[in-house]
Amino acid sequence: MSLIQLKDIVKTYEDPKRKTKLLAIDNVSLEVEENEFLCILGPSGCGKSTLLNMIAGFEKQTSGSVHMNNKLITKPGADRGVVFQQPTLMPWLTVWENVSFHLMLEGVSKAERKKRSLEYIEMVGLKGFENHFPYELSGGMNQRVGIARALMLNPSAILMDEPFASIDAQTKSDMQEELVKLWEKHKITVIFITHSIDEALILGTKVAVMTRRPGTIREMMPINLPRPRDVTSDEFNSYKRRIRELLHEE
């Protein structure tokens, strides 16, 4: 069953100073199923993050429509958790306070907020760090806080915009493994933006390969590989070659 539907999406940016228009996304239609892990891959500037922001409700399309659960998306909502490239934590709040920040806005008591946040802090492997501040943590640990905060919303989908781009290779590998375990355990829908072919193939149940600007979906590729994924296998590298060919043609 489709959870998210993008239909005939067009995005045009106007430059009033130069009196020109830039067509960024051209006629994209896309359906995301429940419990799917969709990776969107493509060249820089092709509109990957713009599509994600439309689903999040942060940005409006010029034409076309974005629906979730058959309801038109017009603004951000708690049914969509967002994890950015940088974790955007509040430095004056501790880990548990950052994770449960939305509960504070709802007027939930401090004791209840802390109690509920600890489950998600433990879920992302940060038990014992709940009273630390962001500046006391590594980049990878801060990104885990961002993921815990998104999970605590209990969303139907998590939208992730290159969340591991700025962390080292070993931490990235560990985080990819943990993210797959969380996805398998909680059966949540994930839409994940990446520039990395390997990352898309390690994570995704499907990979949407986009063209250069104006961005369109070049190919939607189901990834039928067992988990954990073996990046040295013939099957993995066959997918990798196909995606490389698509991107090279662009």
Please identify, among 154, 180, 208, the residue that sits at the C-terminal boundary of a domain: 154
Task: Indicate if 103 and 115 belong to the same structural domain.
Answer: yes
Residues 118 and 229 grouped into a single domain: no
Residues 43 and 107 grouped into a single domain: no
Average pLDDT of the chain, as a whole number: 91
The answer to whether 83 and 164 are in contact (CB under 8 A) is no
244 falls within a domain: yes
Domain termination site, one of 134, 154, 174: 154
- Mean pLDDT check: name the lowest of 21-25, 95-99, 122-126, 223-227: 122-126
> Looking at residue 232, what is its pLDDT?
95
The span from the CA of 118 to the CA of 199, in Å, is 29
| Amino acid in the structure at residue 111 | A
Q: What is the pTM of this model?
A: 0.89
pLDDT per position as a tens digit, 208-230: 999 998 999 999 999 999 999 99
Does the residue 132 lie in any domain? yes
pLDDT digit string, tens, across residues 37-92: 999 999 888 999 999 999 999 999 999 999 999 999 999 998 999 998 877 889 99
Q: 126, 154, 182 — which closes off a domain?
A: 154
Residue 241 — very low, low, confident or very high, per pLDDT cuts 50/70/90?
very high
Is the domain of 16 the same as that of 121? no
Q: 144 with 165, same domain? A: no
* Same structural domain, 120 and 171: no
Q: Are residue 230 and residue 123 in the same domain, yes or no? A: no
Of residues 87, 37, 82, the one with CA closest to residue 202: 37
Q: Give the structural domain span for 96.
A: 89-154
Q: How many CB atoms lie within 10 A of CB 21?
A: 11
Query: Do the domain assignments include residue 84?
Result: no
In a domain, 33, yes or no: yes
* Domain presence at residue 160: yes
- Structurally, the chain folds into a number of domains equal to 2
Same domain, residue pair 69 and 16: yes
Q: Are residues 244 and 176 in the same domain?
A: yes
Asked if pLDDT for residue 137 goes beyond 70, the answer is yes
pLDDT in tens, 158-203: 999 998 887 888 888 888 988 998 899 888 999 999 999 999 999 9
Compute φ and ψ for 86, nearest 5 degrees. Answer: -105, 140
- Shared domain for 134 and 228, answered yes or no, is no
What's the CA gap between 142 and 6, in Å, rounded?
Answer: 31
The segment with the largest mean pLDDT, out of 1-5, 112-116, 177-181, 234-238, is: 234-238
For residues 72 and 95, membership in a common domain is answered with: no
Strand partners, 17: none
Q: Does residue 179 lie in a domain region?
A: yes
The CATH number given to whatever domain includes residue 187 is 3.40.50.300
Instruction: Identify whether residues 105 and 52 lie together within a single domain.
Output: no
Query: CB-based contacts of 43: which residues, under 8 Å, 6+ apart?
Result: 210, 211, 212, 213, 247, 250
